[in-house]
Amino acid sequence: MDALLFVPVAVAISLTPGPNNFCGLNNGIRAGVGAALIATLGRVAAFAIFLVVSAVGLGAMLLASEAAFTVVKWVGALYLFWLGWRAWRSRAFSGLSMVEGEGAWVADSPVSLRALVAQEFLLGITNPKAIILFAAIFPQFIDPGQPAARQFLVLGSIYLAGEFVSTAVYATGGRQIRRFIRTSRVVVRLNKATGGFFMGAGGLLLATNR
């Protein structure tokens, strides 16, 4: 096992655009970098489950099962479609209101960190691509001559840390985008873009093969 070699691979994979990273960007826009990082605990919990599943060999079994893979894929796609439809129809800016004459947004209700964590978890746990990742990529860095459990623990910890790095990058970018959102019309356009992305991701998920 070469943990140092795996670090750039883990960061590169975690930075790949997808539903969870877009969620981090969206959370950065609407709730701030800190809230987005806390919400990532949900994503990390979901991916940790997949890591355990892969470590005990169930990941390969899930990939081999057409029915199990299809169920996970459809549940994930339907959840993405629902998130997208809800965002598309929304005209609000997630508990924020514009300060008249200042062009700034302030919170008119507290951010529900529990809801953000739950959303990240559901996006992660219903994404079969994560199963493919952990079942296909991780074994390439496993040394058969060493205890597999320890190697999965080390590699998994590196990857999960990379998810926090990814969230920090996307959420910081989202926070900068927020500076340009100064009218309700822009909010509507942002919501439609968000909705379109989630629904598009749902469509791509349905096209995923094992």
Most confident of 63-72, 109-118, 151-160, 198-207: 151-160
| 58 vs 43, residue with greater confidence | 43
Q: Residue 158: what pLDDT?
A: 92
In whole angstroms, give the CA distance from residue 161 to residue 165.
7
pLDDT-derived band at 117, boundaries 50, 70, 90: very high
CA 38, 167, 172, 30 torsion-angle sign: negative
In whole angstroms, what is the distance from residue 105 CA to residue 95 CA?
10
What's the confidence (pLDDT) of residue 101? Answer: 46
Give whichever of 87-96, 155-164, 190-199 has the largest mean pLDDT: 155-164
The encoded tokens of residue 186 equal: 């822009």
CA angle at 116 for the pair 190 and 79, rounded to the nearest 5°: 70
Which of 5-9, 39-43, 85-89, 156-160 ranks highest by mean pLDDT?
39-43
More confident residue, 176 or 135: 176
- Lowest mean pLDDT of 9-13, 69-73, 79-83, name the range: 69-73
**Dmax (CA) of the chain:** 67
Work out the mean pLDDT of the chain and round it to a whole number. Answer: 79
CB 98 within 8 A of CB 104: yes
pTM of the predicted protein model: 0.79
Count of positions (residues) in the chain: 210
Percent of all residues in the chain with a pLDDT value above 90, rounded to a whole number:
23
* C-alpha span between 130 and 47 (Å, rounded): 7
Is residue 50 predicted with pLDDT exceeding 60? Answer: yes
- Report the candidate in 94, 91, 73, 108 with the shortest Cα–Cα distance to residue 23: 94
